[in-house]
Amino acid sequence: MEKIYSVTELARDLDITPRTIRFYEDQGLIAPQRAGATRVYTHRDRARMILILRGKRLGFSIKEIKEFLDLYVVDVTQTEQMQLLLTKVRERSRQLEEQRRALDQTLRELKDIEKLTVEALAQKGAVEPA
């Protein structure tokens, strides 16, 4: 028999809040079954949540995650899904590399300003703050 989770159990298992699970349910990314008025989550829902959380951690939008999950259901060979994933991963990697370059440039500029400020303080005989 398949393991069934309550929202609280699934949240605890994934180290997230029940509100997070409900948010993704409201977004249409998971669709738990009902036992009366109670939501119950299956192993499949748990697996989808793991993919959703990984996608968010990697910076993908809800729309991109939904597109990926929808392909998983439609394409049993998973070819389209893997092609989409490859495209999205490459695009996200490119974005992060651009952010890294911008961050490196900002850090260089801050270090230059710090150096000039320390030199100006030294010329004035002022003590450099810690």
Residue type, 73: V
Question: pTM for this one?
Answer: 0.73
First-to-final CA distance of the chain: 63
Q: Which pLDDT score, from 0 to 100, does residue 80 have?
A: 83
Residue type, 95: Q
Dihedral angle of Cα 24, 27, 30, 35, to the nearest 10 degrees: 90
Lowest mean pLDDT among 15-24, 35-44, 94-103, 109-118: 35-44
